[in-house]
Structure 1
Amino acid sequence: MILALCGTTEGKILVEALTKKGLQIIATVTTAYGGKLLKENAKIEVMEKKLDKLRMETLIEERRITAIVDITHPYAENISRLALEVSKVKKIPYFRYERQDTFSKETEEETLLWAENFSHAAKMAKDFEGKVFLTIGSNHLPTFLKEIKVDRLIARVLPLSKIVKTCEDYGFTPDNLIAMKGPFSEEMNQQMFKSYGASVVVTKDSGEAGGTEEKINAAKYLKIPVILVKRPSISYGKIYYDINEIVNKMAFIYGK
C-alpha cells in the first residue's frame, strides 16, 4: 500500500496513473473538494483529514504502508517535513513530485521583488501605498493582517464556504474578497488588478498549474510591482518533476 499525500491538481493525475500500474493507493487530502476529485476513481481510497505525526505513524503501521509519495503544494512545507521525518522513523522510502519553478531569482531579479517567506513579504508590502493584491491563498492571510489593515488588502481565494467564512471572520467583505478558482488568464488578471486598484501584487511560485506566469505578466503590463515569495527550502532528496518518471519508478519497485 502506497500513502499519497495530495494537494495539487497533479495529485489526481499521479495517483490515477499509479493505480493503472496496479498499485494500491490510500490518498490523503485536507478539503472535501480535493476528496471529491479523487473519489471519482473508485480504485483510490481517500482520507479527508490532516495528519499529525502520531496519525501518520499509526496509519503507516495499521495499513502496512510501504512508501510515501508526496504530491503536496510546493508551499505546504509542514506536511512535507512531517512526511520526511516519519519516513525516516519508519524506514520506508519517500518520493517527492514537485512542479517546476516558474522563475529563477538570478534571471528575474530586476523585474521581481523576492521575499524570503510570507512574513518578509508582508513587511515589504506594508511599505507600498494603496491596495495590496494577495494571490497567496488563505492560509497566510493572518501574517499580512499583522502588518497591514484589512481594508488595504484584496484577497483572492478558493470559492469554498469554509474559506470564505474564515476570510469574513478576518474582516474581509465583498469589497476586498474575490472567491474564484484559478488559474486565470493574463487578461483576466489584468482586469482584476486594474479594477481593484492594486498598487502591488503578492504571489508565490505555484508553477504553471498555478498560473504564476500569467499573474506576473499581467502585473508587468500594468507596471505594478510583484512580490514573489520564495519556495521553502526543504531537503527532499531526489525530486521528480515529471509524472511519468516517478510513476514508472514506483511501478518498477512496487509493481507485482
Structure 2
Amino acid sequence: MSRLWLIGGTQESRQLVQRLVLQLPSGLSSGPACVITVTTEPARSLYPVSSQLQIQVGQLTPDEAEDFWRTHDIAAILDLSHPFATSISQLAIAFAQRYQLPYLRYERTLVDDPPSSWRDRQQRLGMVRVPHLQALLTSEYLSGDRTLLTLGYRQLAAFVPWQSQATLFARILPSPVALKTALDAGFTPERLIALRPPISAELETALWQHWQITQIVTKASGQPGGQDQKQILAARLGVRLLQIQRPAIAYPAQTDDLDTALQFALRYCN
C-alpha cells in the first residue's frame, strides 16, 4: 500500500491530521495510509491515535531517505513543517524530484505589517527586519541592550560569543534537551524561562517588564508563532523588535489554504 508522507510538528499539521482521520476509512488491513515525521518525542502527542497513522520520531537525514522511501512506499509528500525548518523541506523537495513524487508545501501566511511604525524607548526604529541569523550575529544589534531571544533552543549556541558582550535572555520549550542546550550556551538559570506556546499577551508583557527587556529577537514565523502579538506588544511597550525573515525556498507547489492541503492528503491517502 502506498502512503502519504506528511512532514509535521506544527499546529497546522495537527489540525489537518485531526480532520484527515475523520474522513479516512478505519480498520484497513493494509496498514496506515499516512506516515508522519516529527523531530521530537513530545510532538508525537500532537496527533490522534489511529490505525491510519504511523508516526516516526527523529530527524530524517539524506542517507536515510532511500530506506525511508522503500520501507513506507511513499506515493506523495505533504510538507507542513515549520517555516524555518529548511533542511527537511529541501530534503523532501529533492526526494520528490528524484522519485517524481507529487509534492505540496503548506506555508502559513505572513503576518501583515503593523498599521503604523513605532520608535523604541531609545528612539530607534521599532521594527527591524533582519535577513538571516548570521546578519544579526555579525552586527552591533546586540550590544548595550537587554535582549530576549525567542528563536528556539537550537539557535542558542550561535550566541555563545555574545555572552560576554551583551545581556541575553532566552525563552525555550520546557524540555530537558532545550534546557541543557541553553545552559551549555552560557545562559544562566535566572535568564531563562521555559514555556510552551501559545503564551498570553499578559504573561508575555509581564515577562518583558520583569526582565526590563529593551529588544526582542524573533522569527517571521506567522500567527501560530505569535508574530502578530509580539508586534503589538513591542509597539505598546516601546521595545525594539528584530525580526529574522523567512528563508527563501523555491517550493515546487505551494498553498496557504489548509483545505487545499487536506484534499491533497485525502487524494494520496486513499
Q: What TM-score does the superposition give when structure 1 sets the normalisation length?
A: 0.90
SS of 1:103's partner is coil
Q: How do 1:37-76 residues align onto structure 2 when only pairs under 5 Å count? A: 37-38=46-47, 40-76=49-85
Give distance in 2, aligned partners of 1:63 and 1:221: 50
Shift of 1:62: 2.0
Say which of 166, 169, 172 aligns to 1:154: 169
Conservation of the 8 A alpha-carbon contact between 1:128 and 1:200: no
* Relative contact order higher in (CA < 8 Å, ≥ 6 apart): 2
1:49 and 1:68, CA in 2 relative to 1: closer, same or farther beyond 3 A? same
Residue 235 of structure 1: aligned partner = 250
1:28 match: 37
Cα distance, 1:167 vs structure 2: 1.2
User: Is 1:112 paired with 2:153?
Assistant: no
CA distance in 1, matches of 2:48, 2:165: 37
What is the DSSP-based 3-state SS (H/G/I as helix, E as strand, rest coil) of the residue aligned with 1:175?
helix
Instruction: Select which of 170, 181, 188 maps to 1:173.
Output: 188
Q: 1:186-205 counterparts in 2 under 5 A? A: 186-205=201-220
After superposition, the C-alpha distances for 1:2-43 in whole angstroms (9 at most, x for unaligned) are 011112111122123333333811111111100132254453
Q: How many residues align?
A: 255
Which whole-Å CA distance do the structure 2 matches of 1:125 and 1:79 have between them? Answer: 31
Q: Is the 8 A contact 1:125 1:132 kept in 2?
A: no
The 8 Å contact of residues 5 and 71 in structure 1, kept in 2 or not, is answered as yes
Q: Deviations over 1:47-91 (max 9, x none)?
A: 111101121221112211100111110000111111101111111
Equivalent residue letter for 1:223: G
Q: 1:127 to 1:176 in 2, by over 3 A?
A: closer
Aligned CA-pair RMSD: 2.4
Percent identical residues: 27
Gaps of 5+ in 1: none
Distance 1:125 1:28 in 2: 38
* Structure number with bigger Rg: 2
Q: Which residue of 2 aligns with 1:88?
A: 97
Q: Equivalents in 1 of 2:54, 2:79: separation in Å?
A: 16
Unaligned runs of 5+ in 2: 25-31, 119-124
Q: Residue 116 of structure 1 contacts residue 229 of structure 1 at CA under 8 Å; is this kept in 2?
A: yes
Displacement of 1:106: 11
1:128–1:199: 8 Å Cα contact kept in structure 2?
no
The verdict on how the C-alpha distance between 1:104 and 1:223 changes in structure 2, with shifts beyond 3 A counting, is closer
Contact 1:158 / 1:181 at 8 angstroms: preserved in 2? yes
Opposite residue 152 of structure 1, the aligned amino acid is T
